[in-house]
Structure 1
Amino acid sequence: MADPAIDEAGLEAARLLLQRTGISPLDLVAGVAARPAPPTFADYVPVIAASTSASLLRAYGTYWDRFVERWGTRRIDEVTPSEIRALITALLGRLADDLHACARVFASPVDQPASEALSGEHVQDRRA
């Protein structure tokens, strides 16, 4: 060997690995075949939706729709974890607002403190 820094045992291990995996040294220098670009959200979400059950589509479909609305033209590998976290936070914030609004609608006709409403004192016993 011309280069004393090359470890003979390491080189032999590499040859053995190449042989067992069916890779030739030419495969290593020829380059890797080009992979197709990852799909966009607009392309990929319908594929996922079409392959899921109706119950999963009901559970997750609205979220997938939000992904397409927000990131439809972006590739699925371009969105960062912080962007996903921000979207979830926004969606949960809207959900919390909706729940609070719903609670106000249902609580407003009662027009009494929550402790009384929860105690059941306002409910008449209709058993007779």
Structure 2
Amino acid sequence: MSADPAALATARQVLAHLGVTVTDLQSAAEVLVAVPTVAEYLPRVIAAAGPGARRTHGTYWERMAAVWGDRRLDAVAASDVEAMKQQMTATARSRRNNRNGRHAGERVVAARAFYARAIADGLIDALVSPAHRVAKPRRLPNTHRALTAWELEEINAVARSSGNDVSLDALMLRLHTETACRRGGALALRLIDLDTANGLVRLTEKGSTVRWQPITLDLAGHLHEHALARGAVLATDRLLRYRNGQPITSRRYDHLWKRIGERLPWAAVHASLLTGYAIPP
């Protein structure tokens, strides 16, 4: 059936009035067809993301692919994102620092990172991004506080009187007490990061931030002796090490705080409120 010439003429007038050509419409249709599904696009997002983004958002990106995998990016609605946020908040894993699943909700809305990549790739328009149309929950005030003098004394007493390597635990706690560094910063310390002459350690922490932190010469000396006695030789060898010469891992912190919590009930109850010792989640 041939098109009505009068209708075609009217359509051309409308397009001309809008400043749109038939070629524009064809190009738009091609783009529409080329929009990938969530599952198809996820590998590209992961490949372009840094380690921190993958660690923070990876679980939620996988959840998106599981629930919306066969949908095109532009077929997910803001209400879908809101529903997932509510579901993840309700089913958030209970932790000592749990805040009624609020952080789970924040991270689902961090699907914005997923859609921000799609916007940058020209696959969808910023105005129609469903993730950016859902309000991000306001962060609650930080509940962390510093340790009191007696809390610090009790924690150190337990660390020095229990466990299978009290000298290592005591050194770890002293390092965190003097530097207030994060767990990752302590684990990353190498021989080259220790300046025993000037009492400094070079800490590489969250966001790849680097800082030279003053410490006492006594601590610097003990760190150096500890590393050498446990097999550190090269400048890039880790400082904190087990008796067998292997560098410690985050599991050492897990075991340490589990032991402290078993002997100090107040520490187990208030662990999420304490700072300065890289309290585990």
Shorter chain as denominator, the TM-score bin is 0.5 to 0.7
TM-score (structure 2 length as normaliser): 0.26
> What is the CA distance between 1:65 and its match in structure 2?
0.3
Task: Return the index of the structure with the highest Cα Rg.
Answer: 1
| Displacement after TM superposition at 1:98 (Å) | 2.1
Give the C-alpha shift of residue 45 in structure 1.
1.0
Q: Secondary structure at the match of 1:99?
A: coil
What 5-or-longer segments of structure 2 have no aligned partner? 1-15, 99-257, 271-281
> RCO greater where, 1 or 2, for CA within 8 Å and sep 6 or more?
1
Q: Partners of 1:31 and 1:68 in 2: how far apart?
A: 32
TM-score normalised per structure 1:
0.53
User: Which residue of the partner structure matches residue 90 of structure 1?
Assistant: 87
**Structure 1 residues 29, 93: CA separation in 2 closer, same or farther (over 3 Å shift)?**
closer
Query: 1: CA distance between counterparts of 2:60 and 2:72?
Result: 17
Counterpart pick for 2:25 among 32, 45, 55:
32
Say which of 54, 74, 78 aligns to 1:81.
78
Q: How many residues align?
A: 87
1:75-125 deviation line (CA, Å, top 9, x unaligned)? 111111111101011111111x5237x8xxx9xx89x9x9xx66xxxxxxx
Are 1:56 and 2:56 matched, yes or no?
no
Q: Which of the two has greater strand per residue?
A: 2
Matched ranges for 1:1-128 at <5 A: 28-29=21-22, 32-33=25-26, 34-35=29-30, 36-95=33-92, 98-99=94-95
- Taking the aligned partners of 1:64 and 1:30, their CA distance within structure 2 comes to 36
| Counterpart Cα distance in 1 of 2:21 and 2:51 | 46
- CA displacement at 1:28 relative to structure 2: 2.1
Give percent identity, aligned residues only. 29
